[in-house]
Chains A and B, each alone.
Chain A
Amino acid sequence: MRKFSEFNVLYWVYRIGDGVKISDINRNSRRARSVVSQLEKLGLVKVEEYGRLKVVRLTTKGQRVYEKLLEALWELRLGREREEQAEVRVSRPRHAELEAGALPEWLVGNPWLKVIGERGRA
């Protein structure tokens, strides 16, 4: 496999987050092991074994990178929301989207739904 670019490293740190099964990294086990070994070399992940199950978790260093990544994504998201709002104001009014008929059968006529409704108004 070719060498990891910095972007790839960040992508995998984000994907792994608080831990994923090794099979979630890639269905191809060889490819998954290759990704994990490269991240291990960088000191970003460690592999824990639960019987037959292998879980990839971020090390302390990996966690630090992950937190910074989340902060960066959060800032990007806030910036995009501001841009979207500006566009919407110019182009068209935004309509609230309600999912029709989304209530599952076990909640149709469920007396507890009404009780919670009353509790929320109290």
Chain B
Amino acid sequence: MRPRYLQVGKLLISLTHLKCLRREELEQWVGAERAAQLLAMAKKHMVLLHPLYAELSYPGGRLLVSPGLTLVVGEEFKLTPEPIAPEARLDEEFLWDLLIELPRRLEARRAPVLVEDLDERFTRHVNEGILYALDIMERVANVYRVPFVVTGAARLFGMWSWLHTILRVYDKRGGSLLLVDGQPVVVG
């Protein structure tokens, strides 16, 4: 299948990729009229992609992660197939990478996406940045039907409606418990 590409301002974007963009983003780049045209084209475009599942192995078990956003806090894990990760580290470079570069890489090779330390990716407007990044990831995950695995601090837990969660929680005495999708898991 050859993707069809469109000129969006100075960017060349495929119709599938266009489906990941919000009207507000497009309007800023190309104006309201052209944005409306592009959105109408994107709406007509049918994406024929099957869902990609990944296997997340953690000490004591493994989880099959579906397309969507999964959070892992305080636990080592291994993701198969080999995930891809955004190349840019901070602020707008990171957001741009998620919104523009990552979908291009997914078009070349669909794979699970690993985004590490999300809460440390912004030097200013931290909460707004995290929420915007999660919003972008949710859109890309929905359109390309790939799983995203996000790691970071426990405060990320309450910031999004996660598909799966794996959290290591500690009590005052230092004892810990692993919660997978809210259920305690006994690690042998």
Q: Name A's B-contacting residues (CB within 8 A).
A: 17-21, 50-51, 53, 55, 66, 70-71, 73-74, 77, 81, 84, 94-99, 102-104, 106-107, 110-121
| Contact of A119 with B48 at beta-carbon distance under 8 Å, contacts A51-B62, A103-B24, A104-B135 already known | no
B11: chain A residues at CB < 8 Å are 120
Residue tally, chain B, CB below 8 Å to A: 37
Interface of chain B, main secondary structure: helix
Apart from A50-B64, A110-B131, A116-B99, 12 more pairs, CB < 8 Å: A18-B53, A19-B53, A77-B46, A81-B44, A94-B40, A96-B39, A103-B24, A106-B128, A107-B22, A111-B128, A112-B92, A117-B28
Which among A50, A96, A103 is the interface contact of B40 at CB below 8 angstroms?
A96
Shortest B70–chain A CB gap in Å is: 15
A73: chain B residues at CB < 8 Å are 48
Q: Counting CB contacts under 8 A, is B37 at the interface?
A: yes
Please determine whether A98 and B36 come into contact, CB atoms closer than 8 angstroms: yes
Q: Counting CB contacts under 8 A, is B116 at the interface?
A: no
